[in-house]
Structure 1
Amino acid sequence: MSTAIAIATPKEVANPLIQEISLDRIKPSKANPRRRLDEAALRELAENIKTHGVLQSILIRPVNSNGYEIVCGERRWKASKAAGKETIPVRIVNLTDGEALELAVIENLQRENVHELDEALGYKALIKQNPELYTVENIALKVGRSVSYVYQRLRLAELTPNVQAAFYAGKLTAGHAVEIARLQPRDQERAFEECFPGHRTPKAVLRDKDPRPVSVRELRDWIQREIHLTLANAPFDANDPNLSPAAGPCSTCPKRSGSNPLLFADSIKRADICTDRECFQQKRDALVQIRIKEIETAGEKPVKVSDSFIYYGQKPAPGVLYRPDFNEATAGDCPTTVPAVVVEGRRAGTKLYVCTNPKCKTHSARSVGLSPEEKEARKKQAQELRIQQEFRKRLLAEVQNRVPNELGRHELDLIASSYFQQLGHDSQHRLFKFFGWDEAKTKAVNSGYTDYPKLTAAKLDKMTTAEIGKFLMACALASELCFPTYYGSASSKDTKLTREAAHYKVNCDRVLREVREKIAPKPPKAKSDSTLQATAKPNRKGKTK
């Protein structure tokens, strides 16, 4: 690093001359900002010291009558011990704790291979040592960097342990770490998992030698889509300091993009972006409670409603009505009209009236029936859908049974290419149905979805190597279990599943024929003459037709 750096001048040099001191009289500093140590580089340095000795003395300070603490040069000290040396060249200086820490941080920054997280922890240690002296502005001046640079480096020190471990291990780049560091701890873990969609747990990421994260651009897009919230769309008053007294108004919150340009200026263009979803939801819920109390004070009992529909796999909130279980109304429209408060969405906190009677003649929606032709077309489509679904299940089952116990190049290539495209939630669901596994309800991060990766982990622990190989093969073909349901879709004979079936010499025509025979509708039974006469209606003269 060629940047000129100003460092604190020692008050007094105890011994300006370089001298040899026993390694046993020296101990490393607990405040050393450098956490990561490359063992291979340390062994290489030890070999160099065996041959050439220590070419640059280390800097130490006295801590007691017969002991010293390292200020700069801990790697050389450790390498000297590994090389079997008994002494090391040193220069002794008298430094306070603050001066020693500052000198250690600056010395680390002058090295080309300093890790960004070590740099961040060094800045954080300086501020903790003396907050009044070591402000962000003063540190930026000392290290010859911009205030924004130092502030963003400091955010790296707030990364969660899992993210720090992955960053140190080289699983994440500095670009990934900077984007994640801007988030709250819970969202950091979500973003970390999003970086490695093919891994079930953080431990799996750390075990993988080459986990291949998504690009920084993809991560930033996901954060903007899933984490960031626009305060202009907030249902509450962003300037209200009483909704959440601990957080205060959004206009001065440091987690709002416009209030903290040093952290967000280069990544968020708008000034009204909230980066703390949990705080946002707390304020929204506080507004809802205020509206509910207003209605209760007026002597009425409101119901809670949501503007959204229940999507697949979602667990509805207790005591909340979702569409279409209610219709908006005007007070007094019908006997079942009651006051309500919207608890979710952009209209959260809105007071309105709703009708909860599905058979209400005033508010129930009018339904339009299907014509006989449309019903017949739907029936044929449903029949073909069942055939194709059963056909694909059977085909996958036969392919799975023919997978060898020892996976070959063909299987591994298929797995690698398929997993590159990543499994989605729907494919995971279809696999559970295919294997007949129980979909136990679990509390998942994504609001009510079944946590398939967590359930699958328990299944994999009980599998043999051969079973895991077959499971992976099924995963690679999971997307083929889906058959398009839109009208007019036709089955294709040239699919990945059929190609694999051909590879394993599975007779697709036979499987399809057996499925059609199994699902084919049974012809109606012919009625006998006696039955026809018994059910015939008499005419006006009393004779049967």
Structure 2
Amino acid sequence: MAKNDVRNSIKLTSVDELFTTEENRADSQREKVLDIPLSEISDFSNHPFKVKADEAMLEMADSVTQYGVLVPGLVRPKVDGGYEMVAGHRRKKASELAGKETMPCIVRELDDDAATIIMVDSNLQRESILPSEKAFAYKMKLEAMKRQAGRPSKENSVQVELDYKGQQSRDLLAKQTGESGPQIHRYIRLTSLLPSILEMVDEKEIAFNPAVEISYLSENEQQDLYNTIQSEDCTPSLSQAQRIKKFSQEGRLNADVIYSILTEEKPNQKERFHIQRDRIDRYFPKNFTEKQKEELVVQLLESWYKKRQREQQER
């Protein structure tokens, strides 16, 4: 072997390595908090939790303005550059409202399943969670857990085996969340609802149990149901939803059956005041929601009532 080849084959320890202690080397491996530009952080893909600029968010933004973000977010590097937020979406929104350009974050290498589980767990700690948020969060985490159990990584293979051995993923998720296995399944059923019906569940216009029964209807059947709910200003009780589901399973459900079931008088039902929609819809802007229409009608009635009271006092 030539002298040059021998010289090149010898790997010399660098001066930096010679004078680096074990503690220094360990410290270089620890996660550090970095100030990352908000413009470089994208939201988690299909993030199921809503980030609203509500009163609580405005209070958080005020806190960020005064004290900054006290708890760093967690992000993971993206293949094409930048970062994806794993935990800290509300802190990011508060930072934006506070006019901040950067946010303190921990950068961690995570695969899709590990990132999904952390994202869900960090948000389930919130006090107020909408049914739709739970539904999609449980579904995403359960799918990630099933994939992890099927192909554990070398780093956590023992832990996964201990967690999953003899347990179904749903039972383990139930144990972690404090929900029963069947209740987890019922929440996940809500992901099969039309967005318009799921929004009514979030707004507490449709109760949880009837919503679960409705989720078994086809998309077209759900659309017929939603149209009837809107036109007749009524929502199904649990028994009505169960009957509608049964008709669907028997292949006998149509718009007329839905109308017949929803418009029947319920026990202890108070008499309702109905106005045909085609008589009033032309007076509203096309982009008005049902709630906006209702609020406007109430405002007009209040104005009319006050005017009538003034006229009576002047007589």
Query: What 5-or-longer segments of structure 1 have no aligned partner?
Result: 1-12, 206-212, 228-274, 283-313, 315-418, 425-452, 465-471, 473-545
- Say if 2:49 is the partner of 1:34: yes
Q: Distance in 1 between matches of 2:63 and 2:79?
A: 32
- Say if 2:202 is the partner of 1:159: no
Q: Distance in 2 between matches of 1:94 and 1:14?
A: 12
User: For residue 272 of structure 2, what is the amino acid of its counterpart?
Assistant: Q
Q: Distance in 2 between matches of 1:25 and 1:114?
A: 28
Per the alignment, do residues 133 and 74 of structure 1 end up closer, same or farther by CA in structure 2, a change over 3 Å counting?
A: same
Cα deviation for residue 167 of structure 1 reads 2.5
- Asked if 2 retains the 8 angstrom alpha-carbon contact of 1:191 and 1:223, the reply is no
Q: Deviations over 1:326-377 (max 9, x none)?
A: xxxxxxxxxxxxxxxxxxxxxxxxxxxxxxxxxxxxxxxxxxxxxxxxxxxx
**What are the equivalent positions in structure 2 for 1:31-180 lying under 5 Å apart?**
31-35=46-50, 37-64=52-79, 66-128=81-143, 131-133=146-148, 135-180=169-214
CA-based RMSD of the aligned residues comes to 3.6
What SS is found at the alignment partner of 1:54? Answer: coil
- Say if 2:241 is the partner of 1:223: yes
Higher strand share: 1
Cα deviation for residue 143 of structure 1 reads 3.1
Q: Deviations over 1:41-100 (max 9, x none)?
A: 322211121112212111111114752111000110111011011221211111001110
Relative contact order (C-alpha < 8 Å, sep 6+): which is higher? 2
**What are the equivalent positions in structure 2 for 1:195-214 lying under 5 Å apart?**
199-200=230-231
Q: Give the total of aligned pairs.
A: 224
User: For residue 85 of structure 1, what is the amino acid of its counterpart?
Assistant: K
Cα deviation for residue 14 of structure 1 reads 6.7
- Asked if 1 retains the 8 angstrom alpha-carbon contact of 2:210 and 2:241, the reply is no
What SS is found at the alignment partner of 2:192? Answer: coil
Q: Distance in 2 between matches of 1:81 and 1:462?
A: 40
Per the alignment, do residues 39 and 185 of structure 1 end up closer, same or farther by CA in structure 2, a change over 3 Å counting?
A: same
Q: Distance in 1 between matches of 2:33 and 2:172?
A: 32
User: For residue 54 of structure 2, what is the amino acid of its counterpart?
Assistant: E
Aligned residue among 242, 247, 250 for 1:277:
247
Q: Deviations over 1:6-47 (max 9, x none)?
A: xxxxxxx97523232222222211232213535333222111
Q: Deviations over 1:135-191 (max 9, x none)?
A: 423432443432112111111111122111222344344455345435554554566
Q: Deviations over 1:458-479 (max 9, x none)?
A: 4445689xxxxxxx9xxxxxxx
Q: Distance in 1 between matches of 2:99 and 2:216?
A: 45
What SS is found at the alignment partner of 2:31? Answer: strand
Q: Deviations over 1:510-545 (max 9, x none)?
A: xxxxxxxxxxxxxxxxxxxxxxxxxxxxxxxxxxxx
Q: Distance in 2 between matches of 1:421 and 1:72?
A: 49
Q: Distance in 1 between matches of 2:38 and 2:29?
A: 19
User: For residue 110 of structure 1, what is the amino acid of its counterpart?
Assistant: Q
Q: Distance in 1 between matches of 2:130 and 2:79?
A: 32
What SS is found at the alignment partner of 1:94? Answer: coil
Q: Distance in 2 between matches of 1:172 and 1:15?
A: 49
Cα deviation for residue 122 of structure 1 reads 1.5
Higher helix share: 2
Per the alignment, do residues 171 and 44 of structure 1 end up closer, same or farther by CA in structure 2, a change over 3 Å counting?
A: farther
Per the alignment, do residues 168 and 145 of structure 1 end up closer, same or farther by CA in structure 2, a change over 3 Å counting?
A: closer
- Asked if 2 retains the 8 angstrom alpha-carbon contact of 1:36 and 1:118, the reply is no
Cα deviation for residue 120 of structure 1 reads 0.9
Aligned residue among 17, 34, 38 for 1:23:
38
Q: Deviations over 1:391-427 (max 9, x none)?
A: xxxxxxxxxxxxxxxxxxxxxxxxxxxx961269xxx
Q: Distance in 1 between matches of 2:84 and 2:283?
A: 53
What SS is found at the alignment partner of 1:200? Answer: helix
User: For residue 238 of structure 2, what is the amino acid of its counterpart?
Assistant: R
2:24 paired residue number: none
Q: Distance in 1 between matches of 2:104 and 2:72?
A: 5
Find the structure with the greater CA-based Rg: 1
Q: Distance in 2 between matches of 1:162 and 1:60?
A: 32
- Say if 2:268 is the partner of 1:422: no
Q: Distance in 1 between matches of 2:220 and 2:66?
A: 50
Per the alignment, do residues 144 and 104 of structure 1 end up closer, same or farther by CA in structure 2, a change over 3 Å counting?
A: same
User: For residue 117 of structure 2, what is the amino acid of its counterpart?
Assistant: E
Aligned residue among 449, 457, 482 for 2:277:
457
- Asked if 1 retains the 8 angstrom alpha-carbon contact of 2:217 and 2:248, the reply is no
- Asked if 1 retains the 8 angstrom alpha-carbon contact of 2:51 and 2:93, the reply is no
Q: Percent identity?
A: 25
User: For residue 220 of structure 1, what is the amino acid of its counterpart?
Assistant: L
Q: Distance in 2 between matches of 1:139 and 1:192?
A: 32
What SS is found at the alignment partner of 1:123? Answer: helix
